[in-house]
Amino acid sequence: MGFPRFFRNHWFTRYFRKSYWFQRYVNWQMIKFFLLENREWDWTYLLKVMEKKFTYMGLYFAKRGVSEENKKKAHACWELRKAVKDINNYEDNAYIKKTKLFIERYGFEYTLKMKSEKITEGSHKGMYTCDFTTIYPIDFPEEKKEEAEEYYHSINLSDGMYKEALDRFTKLMTHHLEHLWD
């Protein structure tokens, strides 16, 4: 993770780098910066805080744990972190899978091109229109274009992926809830 920009090139950084209290101070500054920087106070913010918490817990158990139980705790924390990341990024993951399915069926990626024109007449004079068109390969048949559009818009993976990620997180959390904080 490294030191914040303020601490990188100072003389006391080399001297106090191994100091336990200095390291705790720097860690607290980074956590404080994260909390203040990303404070949108919505459900994704809470997931980001949980992701950060599981990251730090996993690193703590991995660095200071010699026993087999601490290694298991570290892996459990990282597994929970991965589940939280999946909840946070379910739309991106669904888009990637949707694009792969479309490429498998039609052989090209579904891309949109935005065309914007300035309105010169009427009450919306000075504003711009925004039209999206799909870009198809040159040799793609005209009669299959509508079918391709319907197929792409009919694929709805995001709801299922969100539910799967949430179910996975709740299963892991209920399984590891008691022994992670001992």
- State the average pLDDT over residues 34-56: 78
Place of tokens 């669904």: 94
Q: Which region, left, alpha or beta, applies to residue 107 given φ > 0 means left and ψ of -120 to 50 means alpha? A: left
Q: Could you tell me if 161 and 94 are in contact, meaning their C-beta atoms sit under 8 angstroms apart? A: yes
Cα distance between residue 132 and residue 71, in whole Å: 51
Higher per-residue pLDDT: 112 or 9: 112
pTM equals 0.64
Helix (H, G, I), strand (E, B) or coil at 94: helix
Which segment, 86-90, 114-118, 145-149, is predicted with the most confidence on average? 86-90
